[in-house]
Each structure stands twice: as C-alpha cells, then as structure tokens.
Amino acid sequence: MTKTLTKHGNSYALIIDKPILELLHVTPETPFEIVTDGDSLVLTPVRDAKQEARFRAALQDVHGRFGRAMKRLAE
C-alpha cells in the first residue's frame, strides 16, 4: 500500500484506513510511538500496562503449553 501525506493546518497528516486500525485493534485515540532510523518511520501503538500484562501472561501460557512442540516445529 502506498500513501501520501495530506495537508492538515500547518502540518501534514498520514491517513490510516479503518481496516488497518481494526487489524491493529486501535482507535483514533490510541497513542503511537514513532521511531525513525533516518530513512524509515515505525509507528507502534502504545499499549497500557494492563494490556501488556495480559499479553505477557497469555504468551507465557502458550509457551508453557506448546513450547516444546513449537521448538520442534522450528527445527
């Protein structure tokens, strides 16, 4: 997908389509961290601590239940 910037007051905006917002589970109110290496921009939704804790707990559960199988699949 290729996008162009849109003039927004004295700045420019990048419009993110609704299906992409839904895929990322973000709303227009979700804050984003913006990082650049001088050539590229990386936008990452900032998750609250409660969401992060739930994600880590789910990841740990999956690892505990299926870790050995995933390791074998990766070989």
pTM above 0.85, yes or no: no
pLDDT score, position 46: 87
Q: Quick check: 41 pLDDT over 90?
A: yes
Domain ranges of the chain: 6-74
What is the Cα–Cα distance from 11 to 15, expressed in whole angstroms?
Answer: 13
Q: Quick check: 38 pLDDT over 90?
A: yes
Q: Is there a contact between 30 and 23 (Cβ–Cβ < 8 Å)?
A: no
